[in-house]
Each structure stands twice: as C-alpha cells, then as structure tokens.
Structure 1
Amino acid sequence: MMGLFVYYPIVENFRFSFYDFSAFSPDKAFVGFTNFINLFHDPVFYTALKNNVWYAVISIICQVFGGLILAAILEDPITRFISSFFRTVFFLPVVISVTVIALLFTFVYEPNMGILNSFLHGLGLDSWAREWLGDSETAIFAVIAVSQWQSIGYIMMLFIVAIQAIPREIYEAAEMDGAGKIRRFISVTVPQVKEMFFVASLITLTGAFTVFNEPYILTGGGPGNASEVLGTLLYSSAFAKDQMGYASAIATVILILTLLLSLVQKKLFRTGKDD
C-alpha cells in the first residue's frame, strides 16, 4: 500500500520533472534539468519560498511554543478544574472546515465593515486599519494568522498528552527543592516533552512548506504574487498554465525541502536516543 500510494507517485513525479508536457496530451518532451533551471531563475519561486519560510518561523513560535505554554497552563493544578472547557475552546477550530474558516476571516479582514478594522477604529487606531488581504505587505501575514488560529489547538493537545505522561513525583521533588512554576516548566516539563516537541515541530514545519488551502482560498496568491507559496505556485503552474513538468519540479523541490528539514530536526533533537 505504501509503495503504491506513496513511493510510486514520488518516483513518477521525480521522473515527470525532467519532461515538458501537457495534461491534455500523451506526448512528453525530455528537457533534462531545464524545469529546475527555469524554476531557480523564476523570481516568483523565491517569493513563494520566502513566504513559506515566514510560515515556518511564525508557526514554530505560535503553534509549537505557544501550544506548549497553553498545555502547561491548562495542566497546572490551579487551572485544571476549568481545563476541559478551554481544551474544547482551543481545539474547536481544528475540526472546522478550512473553507468555512476562510470565509469567516474574509469578513474579519474586510476593509470597510470587517471586525478587525472596526475594532481598530473603535480604539482610535485608524492609521493601523488597512486592506489586510489586499495589501502586498500584510497579505501573507494575514493568511498566516488564520493558520495559527486554526492549528494551535491541535499542537496544544499533543503537548497535553505528553505532559500528562510525566510522573507527578518529578514535579513534587522539584517543588520540594524550592523550584517555582517557571523553573519547573523549564527544568521538568520542557525536557520531558522533548520527543513530543520533535513530533510537533516536524508536523508544523512540514505543514508550513506544504500549505495550500488558506492562501489559495483567501488570496489566491495575490495581490500580485505577494502571498504566493510553493503550493499555490505548483497549482497555478499545473492547472492554470498547464506546465505539468514545471509543476512536478516544484513538487520535487517541496519534497526535498521537507525531507532535509526532517533530517535536520531528527539530528538536532536526537529523538529516540538516551542523553
């Protein structure tokens, strides 16, 4: 099953990246590395790659570190009596359709009557209000914000599971040694959830470099190419421009990038090895 539905398509996509062909024709012209050369000379590719890097950096900060902090707060004995309610609140966006969320945030970002600009006007911050999805400087960050809002609850739940598996005796021993909440979080919680931190980082980074739904639905990669990511660039190349070989080259680059990031993370975290 893995060979048929995972490895075979990967090999075939890699082979297709060396051809120039149309989805509507069986003829394929072998062009060697031309697709990759054209890709690396395309300024839109570097715009998309930069946006994916922004996606990755912000997602690591907000989803992984933010999710860990939220999980630690909700698993604290003081807040545990209300943690069930807030776990549901934070996790609820995860199960909502991306299309529904995109439509929701279209109203939030609407420049004239949107919730965000209305809120800023109400605070007297008129100079901060703008066309969030129509401004080339803010479009990609507005799209990234939607992803953080939707996904942080999932990462938080992963960390909650990891924190619940930590023996309470360790916390009690640290408390007897005079460690405060922050010191217990740094010295006990963080080292004990290292394996889950690796999993969460891997999921987040892979998602950041393969993201498609949010930017496509909210902006379509616009205005211009300001919010283009590798996923939308691949889609437009394949289905709008009918450059299937070029799109296969983009897919190959995405595969290589995510694979390299996974290997680097595994090396840095030394997951599965005793310290």
Structure 2
Amino acid sequence: MQRRKFNIIPVLFLLPSIALLLVFVYIPLIQNFYNSFFDFSVFSQTKTFVGLENFKNLLADKVVSVALLNNVRYAIISVVLQVGLALVLAYILEDKLFHRVAPFLRVVYFMPVMISISVVALLFGFVYNPQMGLLNSFLELIGLENLKEVWLGNPETAIYSVIAMSQWHSIGFVTLLFIVAIQKIPKELYEAADIDGAGKIRKFFSITVPQVREAIFVNTLITITGSMLVFNEPYILTNGGPGFSSTVMSVHMYQTGFVKDNMGYASTLAIIIFLLTAVLALIQIKLSRTGKDD
C-alpha cells in the first residue's frame, strides 16, 4: 500500500494566521488568566500572589451584578431589534412594492453604521439633553410633556438610552446582511406560494425565515457576543453612570484596571467576560444546529 506524500504547502499558508492568533489571542488569554491570581498595578515592577482572592472579591462585588444585568438587557433588546426587526425590515425592502425606493432606503438604514461611534455618542448627547435636546423638544411638541426625562441622568432610563443609541447605530448593518440572504432565496418558492394564495405574512414565516436560518444564527451570535463585550457606547455616553446604573462588564473592567489601578482584579473580570461569552456562543451553536441536515 503506497503512503500518501505529506503536502507542506497548505501548512505554510496556515502558519501566518496561526501565528497571529497565538500572538494576539491565545497568549494574551493565557497571560490574563495567569494575572488573575496576582495583585498588581499598571506600572508595578512586582506582582503579589493572592491565589483565588480576586475571584472571592468577585462574588462580593455588587457592581458585577448590576453590570451583568445591564449586559443581559443589552443582549435581549439587541436580539429583538437587531435581529427580529432587522429581518422584518429586510423582508419589506425586498418586497416588490418597494422595488423602486429600496436602494435609497438601504443607504438610509446603512448610513449610521458608517459614522464613528464616538460621533454618534456626541450626537445622542445632544438628543438626550434635558433642556434643549431633540427628544424632550419633540415630546413637548406633540403634547407629551409628562414623558420628558433627564434621560442620561436618571438611573432608571440611562441604560435604556444607551441601548437605544446602539440599536440606531447597528440595525442597518444587520438589515443589509439579511437583505443579502433574502436575495439568495429562489424566486420559484415565492411564485409557488403566490399560486397557492399565500399572503405576505405566511410567506415570511414559511419561506423567508426557514431559508435565512443560517443568517439568523450568525447575526444572533454576533449580536449576543457583541452585547457581552460592549464598551464604547456606555463608556462614551455615560461612563457607566449615574452611579453604576449603566455600567456593563467591560466598563467595570476598564475602570477597575485603569482608574482604580487594580489590574489583577481587572484580569479576573476579563476572564468572567470571556467565559460568559464563550458559553453563550457554544450554547447557541448547539441549539441552532446550523449547517446540519434535518
């Protein structure tokens, strides 16, 4: 029996990507896990071994429970809007009734994605301004003065204001991904449904949703993991305030490491963020069963 000759060419092509992953992902991850067992500051020359003390402090940290709840809120609302609503928008834009204006509407929905999140945060800072902001001015204009709020200064509304800004900024990107997926659906399926007398809602649930299942999985995975890792929006808009009401895990980690100068505990928070994100991704992959034959 003749042995197959080992081909080294594919391995050589893989080496650069493997090297990049090792340098920028896996080695820092192992180093971060190692750092979580020590107490040290940013510029300290030595590290004090504390064992599981940082993990014990994690259980007693009240900010962690608030931050985790905010991340969960972020994830739930983002899945409903960035996946659910984006799929509906994509389906509507691909309808024959909107054939002429669809290209223009795609640009309108996608335009916020091209704006820097820092600029978006500054823009929404003006929108939420309690004295001269557009939101309160609009509510006053339509006779709903009783709904006016100090949106970013109220602990009850701060996190939802941040989430709303994030949805406005990101929904266009997910909508565009769904549009691409819908365009790949064979037209014969919709034509057969028309012959059978199916309405638009029936076609949406019986044809569109099953045919874009892979896209739904990918977008949901991106949205959930992004919600667990979100940093820019709450940090720029509220810096986690007022108090800790809009703090998320990544903001708490940053403030612990670079404001309170406790890098060991910040490393522990980073480990928790990684584990939560990985577990959620694995659960979703297991439940979705995408890429497998039914």
TM-score by length of 2: 0.92
Q: Distance in 2 between matches of 1:194 and 1:162?
A: 9
Match of 2:131 among 98, 112, 122: 112
Aligned residue for 2:101, secondary structure, equals helix
Greater Cα shift, 187-196 or 170-179 = 170-179
What does residue 126 of structure 1 align with? 145
Q: Percent identity?
A: 57
1:4 aligns with 2:12: no
Q: Distance in 1 between matches of 2:177 and 2:283?
A: 22
1:30 aligns with 2:49: yes
Match of 1:191 among 210, 224, 245: 210
Aligned residues, how many? Answer: 275
Match of 1:213 among 232, 239, 245: 232
Deviation at 1:26, TM superposition (A): 2.1
* 5+ residue gaps, structure 2: 1-19
Q: Distance in 2 between matches of 1:270 and 1:40?
A: 34
Q: Distance in 2 between matches of 1:173 and 1:37?
A: 61
Letter of the 1:239 counterpart: F
What does residue 57 of structure 1 align with? 76
What does residue 121 of structure 2 align with? 102
What does residue 15 of structure 2 align with? none
What does residue 75 of structure 1 align with? 94
CA deviation map 1:172-210 (0-9, x unaligned) = 112212211100000000000000101000110111011
CA deviation map 1:210-239 (0-9, x unaligned) = 111111111100000110000110110010
Aligned residue for 1:81, secondary structure, equals coil
Letter of the 1:75 counterpart: E
What does residue 256 of structure 1 align with? 275
- Which structure's CA Rg is the greater one? 2
Q: Distance in 1 between matches of 2:79 and 2:169?
A: 14
Greater Cα shift, 166-175 or 109-118 = 166-175
Q: Distance in 2 between matches of 1:35 and 1:95?
A: 40
What does residue 185 of structure 2 align with? 166
Letter of the 1:134 counterpart: G
Letter of the 1:151 counterpart: S
Letter of the 1:198 counterpart: F
Q: Distance in 2 between matches of 1:77 and 1:8?
A: 51
CA deviation map 1:88-128 (0-9, x unaligned) = 00000001011110110011000011100011111221111
1:86 aligns with 2:69: no
Q: Distance in 2 between matches of 1:110 and 1:254?
A: 32
1:232 aligns with 2:232: no
What does residue 153 of structure 1 align with? 172
Q: Distance in 1 between matches of 2:112 and 2:196?
A: 40
CA deviation map 1:125-180 (0-9, x unaligned) = 11110100000000000000000000000100110111011111111112212211
* 5+ residue gaps, structure 1: none
Match of 1:178 among 193, 197, 205: 197
Q: Distance in 2 between matches of 1:34 and 1:72?
A: 52
Provide runs of 4+ in structure 1 moved above 3 Å. Answer: none
